[in-house]
């Protein structure tokens, strides 16, 4: 079974369609919604972790694209400027999934993309703006 994290963007004209439901019903895929929002432009965005066999995932992604959903790999949406980071640890205290941690030996910031749900708490707390999240 394969797992992928995707950011799906739904334009205003399709936000009310049962598109994610069809991923389960028609393509036998499991998914977990890690984060969801509706922008001021009435665009829907969700971060999902999707599980299934490789072929079914590809068919599901093809279906989403045909429906007008924009798809990005979640890892492309996280930008960490390691040169700008001062390793203060403030972001680690707010990271609800523990994706951000400080190494106890060298006190350098560590980031585990697999744990991140793009909540934005780290971005909002960083005093030097070293973390950027685009969803």
| pLDDT surpasses 90 at 128 | yes
Question: 8 and 59 share a domain?
Answer: yes
Domain limits for position 30: 2-75
Question: 68 and 113 share a domain?
Answer: no
The answer to which of 54-58, 97-101, 130-134 has the lowest mean pLDDT is 130-134
Question: 25 and 52 share a domain?
Answer: yes
Question: 56 and 120 share a domain?
Answer: no
If one counts the domains in the chain, the total is 2
Question: 15 and 60 share a domain?
Answer: yes
Report the C-alpha gap between 74 and 45 in whole angstroms.
12
Could you report the per-residue pLDDT of 72-108, keeping only the tens digit for each?
A: 888 656 788 989 999 999 999 999 889 999 999 999 9
**Nearest CA among 69, 64, 53, 58 for reference residue 22:** 64
What residue has token string 């994706």? 99
Report the C-alpha gap between 42 and 8 in whole angstroms.
14
Please give the model's pTM, rounded to 2 decimal places.
Answer: 0.69
Question: 68 and 7 share a domain?
Answer: yes
Cα→Cα distances 66→14, 37, 69, 74, 86, Å: 12, 22, 7, 20, 44
């Amino acid at each position: 079974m394969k797992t992928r994290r995707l950011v799906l963007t739904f334009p205003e004209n399709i936000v009310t369609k049962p598109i994610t439901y069809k991923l389960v019903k028609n393509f036998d895929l499991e998914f977990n919604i890690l984060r969801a929002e509706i922008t001021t432009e009435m665009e829907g965005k969700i971060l999902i972790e999707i599980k299934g066999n490789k072929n079914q995932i590809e068919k599901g992604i093809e279906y989403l694209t045909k429906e007008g959903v924009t798809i990005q790999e979640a890892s492309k949406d996280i930008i960490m400027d390691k040169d700008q980071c001062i390793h203060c640890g403030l972001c680690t205290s707010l990271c609800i999934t523990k994706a951000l941690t400080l190494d106890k030996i060298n006190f350098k910031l560590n980031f585990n993309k697999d744990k991140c749900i793009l909540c934005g708490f780290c971005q909002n707390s960083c005093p030097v703006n070293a973390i950027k999240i685009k969803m």
